[in-house]
Structure 1
Amino acid sequence: MCDPLNSPQLPPRILIVDDERFNRQLLTTVLQDEGIISTAGGSAEALEAVRMNPPDLILLDVRLPDMDGFEVCRRLKSNQATQDIPVIFITAMNNPEEEARGLHLGAVDYITKPFNHTVVKARVRTQLRLKQQANLLSRYAFHDALTGLANRRAFDRLGEHEWNSCQRQSFPLALILLDVDHFKNYNDHYGHGAGDDCLIAIARSMASAVNRSSDLIARYGGEEFAIVLPETALAPACALAERIRHSVEEQHLPHAASPTAPHVTVSLGVASLVPSGGSRIRDLILQADDCLYRAKRQGRNRVCSRAGGSNSEATADAKAESLPAIDTQP
């Protein structure tokens, strides 16, 4: 698993939007050493390019045939997924009112035609440096320094976002809570350095088991982890939890101080809810936490689950090879 706090920096991605091919080619040549360059000849093409592969910086011509740059900028800044991408306007006009309008919409700078190569490079480098600093601050704010996973703050923010999204579409949202069995004993026996290594190994097992980019793995606190699974019913969430439990056990990390097994094991609680107007994500967390508590009470090293809104419950024994399908609809 790659630690996002210490991973090497990828080259920045720069999108150039101009309806004139000559300008696109010229700016591509000028900025070829500054990052990975892509181009778009119109606003619709630009918006699609941003949606598919968000760049780190956009150079945007004010005058475009299908939709002017101001409207493109407004749409970018009104979208939570793209609002933080810096936009530098390209213009042939020397109009203070037009420049003020662009800055008011959220643009960070202007580049005027004809292009001064030195000025273009300097302004692009400044914005890329600022974006890199902002990205670094975001990583520290929303990632756990030890494991590289999302932290509790990211879980709270993104979990609420996924809850609202699933509520709008009437899709189920599943949550897995994982706790390392007898972790205090592990720390006392092997030391906190070994405890950190143990948590990193478990984080790797979780990351290798989760395949969808929409799923969120977070360090929930101490030796507890959480996985948010949008549009996921209980049965597939339980199957994933069992794969993670098995993957951790297969590492055979020695745990001489555990009364459960001679190696490190984990307990997992799983819940799934279709969000409704009268429910909150806290309800899902409480259900998953209750299932985690039952897993511990029943002997640990197992998966316990519950379908929210129904009376059906399922417990997956630690040695179970498959899980029965469970109807999670209320």
Structure 2
Amino acid sequence: MSAQGRAGILIVDDTPFNIELLEGFLCQAYNVDTATCGEKALDIVGTSPPDLVILDIVMPGMDGFEVCRRLKADERTADIPVIFITALDDVAAEARGLELGAIDFITKPFNPAVVRARVANHIALREAARLREDVERIMRHDLKSPLTTVLSLPQLMLMDGNLTPPQRDMLQRIEDAGYTLLAMTNLSTTLFRMERDVYELRPEKMDLAAVARKVLTGFAETAEMRGIGLRLLVDGRDDGPSIPWMGEELLCHSMLANLVGNALDASPRREDVLVSLGARPEGGVRIDIVNRGDVAPELQGRFFEKYATAGKARGTGLGTYSARLIARAHGGDIEMKCGAGTVEVSVFLPA
């Protein structure tokens, strides 16, 4: 959006008459730039990104499909909406354009009212998404300062050698809750970028076993209140070794917290939830979360889909969905098996 409050539109078409028509439809409401070939369009987007691109498919040299593919492959331009224009009345061409990431399709000859309405709708959606991101960015910034205090003060207090074991346990729980809040604060925009396949992972050396212990510590009180046992095994042992791995610790914390939280919600009282970590024979790490509950038949085939939920009054259907996004962002995957009164969710992470 320009300083004057007008959105920028880039029209790309190799036919000057088409450009004149579209520019005439839109110039009163938007700042319009034009290009007659794919290469020029990419140059313009690279130097002055528009708010929306109207892109012809059939052009000599680089066609519209390739221009769209390059825009969506670049993290800096992937979120720019693309509307394809074409004279082709071809379902296959439309499907291909949408698969490449285009958000709409306009067929020649142009209807001025349709062009204006579709452009206005997508500009409004883009501005709404920007507003949401701005609000989330401000919230993350404002929350990090008090969260830093929540994380640092327990660490300083734990240095006191006169604390009793219960006091140390309470301080550790405060610190773990702080890490959970920090992970949640960072997660929303990260998941959005993962959905768009534009998230850039920044792995660092970490200990998966230590992350799992933090997660279970955070749920210990909830499990106790519900009469549910919560147990962690590392390489088959309660006091198992560390599990060194390269990944993003906060993301892994969020992934495990979602899965363990779901397992606790599904577990009957006086039963156990078991979390097991260990090396895979073929390399990498496997994490299993097992509970003695069940999965509704209508949910079994959609367990990791967005908004898929059943039987939970406050369920959003986002916990397992985000867990799968995080596992796949790390190059791994996740699956669920259920039967005979047992639900097992397994996360497979690469070496």
Higher fraction of helix: 2
| Structure 2 length-normalised TM | 0.39
Higher RCO (C-alpha under 8 Å, 6+ residues apart): 1
